[in-house]
Structure formats: structure tokens, C-alpha cells
Structure 1
Amino acid sequence: MNISSTILSGYQVLEDVNYLIDKTQKVLLVTDKNIVSLPVAAKFIRHIQQIAQDVTIINDVPPEPSNHDVEALLSRLPHQDFDLVIGLGGGSVLDVTKLLSVLAIQGSSANLQQLLSGEKPVKRCRSILVPTTAGTGSEATPNAILAIPEKNTKVGIISAVLLPDYVFLVPELTTSMPAHIAASTGIDALCHLIECFTSNIANPVSDNYALTGLAKLLVNIETVVKQPENLAARLEMLWASYYGGAAIAHSGTHLVHAMSYPLGGKYHIPHGVANAILLAPCMRFIQKVASEKLAVVYALLPTADLSLTDEQKAEALVDYFYSLVNGLGLPTTLNQLNIPDSDLPYLVDAALNVQRLMKNVPRTVSREDVTAIYQSLY
């Protein structure tokens, strides 16, 4: 899949948006309540309003948005013939922005229900995505993920048409993230990178993105949690997140994400937290069949012992994942999330139903395997 987005990155790079907006354009800016309170974000929004004469703002995208949330947002728009859509926020905001770039234009070829049923969009208006977290990589993926409450799960709408024209990677926008958000979104990016690298559909292009991102992430993830004002580390994490999204566009995640979807769909567990709980157990499950690749990733750690065998390096990497999640203060059990073990049958059924991702696991996965992984988290 060709990613043709233009990327602008660095401190104060938002000022370059001047060159991308014509004052006669109808602009839709999408964000959420947390972002609009940030001084840097508020300044950017005011700047957009000064450049363009017609600016509509959606500032209440909910976390883990559902199909109903998107329909509600669409119904509130004063018109649906925008020239430019700008998304400013985390993964939920960016996913909604991508969908609105397709749905909020004149002559839209499909409604949301048709997209959820598998119909592919054929056009969108121009779009700019500005991530404020370093985790989802949504700005680099052809995916938009929505919760479907009636089915207690999530569904991915996937099309290259959703990829944006421009991406801004702005480190100062991420400094206000609380430590637990920086940790969970960082682990989300780590899951994207390591899953795409070990997926059975991995290829040289996705491997290149994954390894480049992992080299940045493994050196910086703990720094951004402990030193929120470290702009150099923040920018490296934004790039790691972007590379994770690019890896998804050319490969695909697998077991961690398949098993985390039910946690978000039914219990509304933040996506990064759900992935964090599952990261090490799922990597342990594929360890034997993916030892060579896991050994390559282990070698990227600053403290790596390169004298170990590949099998020992793979073992050490999984151990590191356990200690990393614990050290970042993220939950490590389903008990901590108040998910009763009586719900185990539902979790197993729902995870196995995510065949889009399960088929990417580099070894055969049985019902008993999925059950055992979930059970290990109690």
C-alpha cells in the first residue's frame, strides 16, 4: 500500500499550516474536550479560524467512539460539503476524522453502515492529521476503528482512501499527556511494531518500518513517561508511533489486538491498557516460532546481552515486556480491570471472531490457547 502523505515534523511546525489552507475553503476541525483546553492546541485552532472564513469545529469526540457516535456527529454538521478536514487529537479523534473526510463531502459514495458492511469509499476531501498522543499511529494507517455496542466488539473500516494528505508530528502537543496515558499509548505503538514484525504476512517493507520504529521506541518510551518536557524524546516517540501505523499499512497486527478488542468493545478498557496486559503473554505464545525475529528486536535494547543465543534473546525480550509494563505502572491482570473470570467464555468467543487479525498469528491458535492466555491474566 502506497503511503503518499506529506509529513511535517518538529517544534512549532504547526505554523506551516498557513501554506495548506485557502481562506475560501470550508474547513471541518475535529478534536475532543481534553485537547481544546491545551494552550498549544487552542492557539492552533484560533489560527485556523483566522486563516479560513468558514470553520466548523467538533470538539467532543468521545474516547473509543462507536458507530452511533459518528452518526450523531454527522447529524450535527451544518452542511456536508467540506473542502478540508483537520483532525487534532489521539487515535479516536483521528479515526473519526478519517471517516468524516469520506462521509462529510458532497456526493459521498457510501454511508457509514455501508462502510461497516465492507463497501469501500472511493473519494474524500483533503485531510490533515495531527496526533497528540504517540501510540495509535492512526495518521499512517488506512484503518478507522469503531466500537459496535450491539455486538460488544470493534470493527475496522480499511481503505487507502482514508490515508491523509498531510501529517504533522508536533512534540509540544504531547507534553501534557499524563504519565499513564504516555505509557499506555506508547505500549500501543510497541504492540503495532512488534506484531507487524512477527506477523505471518510481514514483508521487507513492513519489517523496515517496524525495526525503525522499534529502535526509536525502545530507547525513549520510559524517558517520555519520566520526563514529560523532553521534546527530543517526544518527537522520537511520535515517529515510532507513525512507523507503527506505516507497518500496519503494509503488514498487520495479530494476537494482542485480536484479544484486546473484546476488552475495549464490552468493558471500554482504553486500547493501550488492553494491549499492555496482553503484550507479554501473547509474545510468549509465539516465542518459539518467532525466536529469530524476537532476537533481532532484543538486540535493539540498550541493555541487550548480545552473547545470548536467539532463543535466549527471545526469552529475555518477553521478560523485558513483562517488566516494562509493570514498571510503567500499567495494569497486568484482568482482576485489576474488574473483569470477572465468569466472562471468560465471552472473551474467548469474541477474540476468535476477530479473524481479520487471528489469521495473521504466526502459529496456529486454538480455543484452548486463547482460553489459557486469558486465564493467565487472573
Structure 2
Amino acid sequence: MNIFTTVISGGLEQSLQILSKDAHLLVMTDGNVINLDKVQSLISSLDNHGYHYTLISDLPAEPNNHDVERLIDVLPTDVDVVLGIGGGSVLDISKLISVLYSGSSPSVDFFNQLLAGTKPTARIPLVLIPTTAGTGAEATPNSIIALPEKSTKVGIISPLMLPDYVVLAPELTTSMPSHITASTGIDALCHLIECYTASVANPVGDNYAMIGMQKFFANIEKVIESPSDLTVRLNLLWASYYGGAAISHSGTHLVHALSYPLGGKYKIPHGLANSLLLVPVMKHIYPHCEEKLANVYRLLPQADMSLSDSDMASKLVVYLEHLVKMLGLPTTLNEIGIEREQLTELAAAAMQVTRLLNHSPVKVTEQEVLKLYQSITN
């Protein structure tokens, strides 16, 4: 098994070149992605060229432990390669399933052991094709599963989760509605900027983050203006991939810690939850990491290089606030159905995400977390 990923960029048709006709493929996607013309064409190509495959096309968004248990019940017993095509949820489940096939047939017992902290030791071959430019799940060693009873999510994490191949096919992202393009794009930015400012940041992760942010800032507004531009779309896929690579070497912190309860309990899409929390978190941390946020500001196409680091960091927060509004994303929790009386429970749940809170450049109390939620609630 190879844990070093090969990235193929530029077109979906190239993915067939890496699939063996002798293997039993488990093709995993969701109800939206399976209806894309390009994906239907890929499935037809599998049929026409004699590939042996099983298709599962109803994977849930924001999967929880019960969703995975139901999936395990319907999986075939013998699979040689997992091919995941979709957004972060599909890719995360695909990574997890490739591990579950490493022993005998996938079992709920093995899954529960992984949730409890058992580290994966093997997986079967894995190919991932992202259909959104946001999660970077194709480049992370994580599989994130919601635990609704605990109002949060848990990450099953191992270098073995990294796939053998990633195919970056920009034509798959052109059919995304503009609000999905926007929220997944902000998700990619959160990965990049959080990893760059994390307490566990390091030169390798920083390098990935800076390259990814440069691609993001240069293309995020263009993609709204020219949604069919495949060069812009591919650049954003690379930004997303670099975000995942940065996570592999560093880690996200407060934005993700506070967004986990929104997804885990209320099924708020991950990118949308992150876009709500990006600005309040950056306002909270920027006095503690002015130099790094000034470096991020310098990547903006319209950056004023004459400013001091402190002013650059402040201006970056202003730009991020403008960007979220310009992309048409919600700016208050009320807009997604979360009311003020629910915030105490959210804050308590967020404080349980210690893995991410420990990466924060500034430590936070439960009361401070509550105030961050309150700052975006009417």
C-alpha cells in the first residue's frame, strides 16, 4: 500500500487510466453528484470498458455514526479499490471505508473501535475525486464523523487515510450553485489561514498555506464572475488541496472547533458553519498573531504594502468581512435557524473539541466562546 499521494490535475477522463479492470471497485458518491453529466459519463465508461464495480450513490451529507453503521450493513464483502467522488462528506466516508476493508469485511465493531481511538493500521487502495473546491479532504489524513448524541464531531486520523491518487477535475465543479462555490471556498480559506496561525504551525505547513492562500485570493472573486472558467476552477481546487495538505502538517483551530457543534447537532453544512465563524474568530485572534496575518494580507491583490503589520492584520479582517458579504453568505446564526437560547449548549459542546482548541494561537474560555457565538446572533 502506498501512502504517498499522486495528484492528477486537468480532467476527469484521466482517472480511468489508474483503475484496474481486474479489481472490484467500490464507487462511492451522493445523490447530487451522481446526477452530474460528467459523473454519469464516467460511470458509463466503467460499463463500456468492462470494469467490475459496485456503486453506492446515496451517501449522506455531514455523516454521523449511525449513517456509517447503516452503510456498513449494505457494503459488499469483497472490494479491492475504493473510488470516492464528491465533496468532503463523501471523501471522508470513502477514506474510512478503505480502512474498514483492511481486515475482513467491514464491521460496526471495528468502526466503533476507530471512533474510540484505535489507530488504523492498513487500508485497501484509495482514489479520491473532489467535486467541490473547499474541504481539501482529498489531502487530509482525517475522516470526520458527527456524533449527534454528543452535539459534536470526532476525527479518525491517520496518515493511512491519505489516498493513493487524487484527481483534480475542474469540470466537476462548474455545476455547483454559486452559494456552494462560495461556502466551500471559504472552507478552504479557513483551513489555510487557521493552519498558518495555529500554535502547531511549522515551515512545511506554512508553505502549503501561503501557496494555497495566494491561489485562493487571486481566484475567489473571479469564480463568481466567470463560473465556467476551468483555469480559475482548477486554481481553486489546488487552493483547496493545499489547505488539506496544510492540515496534514499543522491543524485548524477555533473556527473549526466552534463549527463542529453546528454540524454535529444541527446538520449545518460545514463550509457554511465555517463562513459564519471566520470573521469573529479572526477579530478575536488577530492581536495575538499580527505578523502572520499581515503576511496573509500581503497576498491580497489590492494589498497596501505601506501599512504597518498591525494595520495590515486589521485590514485583513475587514477584507474577510467584506468577502463573506460579497459572496452572499449568511453573517448571523439566526439566518440558519440558531437562536440565542441555544448558544450556551453550543459553547459547552465546542469546549469539548480539545484537539482543535489546543491549536489555537490564544487560549479561550467557555465564556469567550459563548461571546463569539453571541457576536453573530441577533
The alignment's TM-score, normalised by the length of structure 1, stands at 0.96
> Does structure 1 residue 60 correspond to structure 2 residue 58?
yes
Q: Is this contact kept in 1: 2:150–2:349, CA < 8 A?
A: no
Report what 1:300 is aligned to: 299
In the alignment, residue 211 of structure 1 is paired with which amino acid?
M
Please state whether the residue corresponding to 2:335 is helix, strand or coil. helix
Q: Which residue of 2 aligns with 1:165?
A: 164
- Residue 245 of structure 1: how far off its partner (Å): 0.1
**1:262-319 Cα distance to aligned partner (Å, 9 max, x none):** 1111111111111011101101111111100000000010111110000000000001
Residue 9 (structure 2) aligns with: 9
Change (3 A) 1:19 1:333: same
Q: Secondary structure at the match of 2:181?
A: helix
Per-residue deviation, residues 139-166 of structure 1 (Å, max 9, x unmatched): 0000001111211211111011111000
Q: Which residue number in structure 1 is paired with residue 371 of structure 2?
A: 372
1:23 is displaced (CA, Å) by 1.5
Instruction: Supply the distance in 2 between the matched residues of 1:249 and 1:21 (Cα, whole angstroms).
Output: 26
1:93 is aligned, of 69, 90, 93, to: 90
Give the counterpart of 2:45 among 39, 44, 47: 47
Range with bigger deviation, 67-76 or 49-58: 49-58
Residues 1:35 and 2:33 are matched in the alignment:
yes
Distance (whole Å) between structure 2 residues aligned to residue 71 and residue 54 of structure 1: 25
Query: Is the Cα–Cα contact under 8 Å of residues 21 and 51 in structure 1 kept in the other structure?
Result: no
Which ranges of structure 2 fall in alignment gaps of 5 or more residues? none
Work out the CA distance in 2 between the residues paired with 1:25 and 1:311: 56
Q: Secondary structure at the match of 2:32?
A: helix
CA distance in 2, matches of 1:19, 1:212: 29
1:240 aligns with 2:239: yes
Tell me the secondary structure at the aligned position of residue 332 of structure 1: coil
Relative to structure 1, the CA distance from residue 108 to residue 322 in structure 2 (aligned partners, 3 Å threshold; closer, same or farther) is same
- Partners of 2:12 and 2:328 in 1: how far apart? 32
CA distance in structure 1 between the aligned counterparts of 2:103 and 2:44, rounded to whole angstroms: 26
Q: CA deviation at 1:3?
A: 6.6
Residue from 68, 73, 90 that aligns with 1:70 = 68
Q: 2 CA distance for matches of 1:129 and 1:297?
A: 29
Number of corresponding residues: 374
Q: Gaps (5+ residues) in structure 1? A: none
Query: What do you get for the CA RMSD once the two structures are aligned?
Result: 1.4
The answer to whether structure 1 residue 192 and structure 2 residue 191 are counterparts is yes
Runs of 4+ in 1 over 4 A off after TM superposition: none
Summarize the Cα distance change of 1:3–1:361 in structure 2 as closer, same or farther, 3 Å threshold: farther
Write the deviation string for residues 74-124 of structure 1: whole angstroms up to 9, x where unpaired: 211232x21111000000000010011111344369711000000011111
Correspondences of 1:1-378 after superposition (within 5 Å): 4-10=4-10, 13-79=11-77, 81-107=78-104, 111-378=110-377
Letter in 2 for 1:157: I
Q: Is the 8 A contact 1:291 1:310 kept in 2?
A: yes
Cα distance in 2 between the residues matched to 1:371 and 1:151:
18
**Kept in 2: contact 1:179–1:226 (CA 8 A):** no
The one-letter code matched in structure 2 to 1:269 is I
Range that drifts further, 296-305 or 367-376: 367-376
Q: For residues 206-265 of structure 1, what are the alpha-carbon distances to aligned partners after superposition, in whole Å with 9 as ceiling and x for unaligned?
A: 000000000000111122123210111100000000000000000000000000111111
Summarize deviations over 1:299-351 as a string: whole Å, max 9, x none: 01011111000000000000111110011010000111121111121011011
CA contact (8 A) 2:357 2:363 kept: no
Q: What secondary structure is seen at the aligned counterpart in 1 of 2:33?
A: helix
Asked whether the 8 Å contact 2:15–2:167 carries over to 1, the reply is no
Distance 2:293 2:103 in 1: 48
Task: Report if aligned partners of 1:24, 1:52 keep a CA contact under 8 Å in 2.
Answer: no
How far did residue 53 of structure 1 move? 3.9
Aligned to 1:201, the other structure's residue is in SS state coil
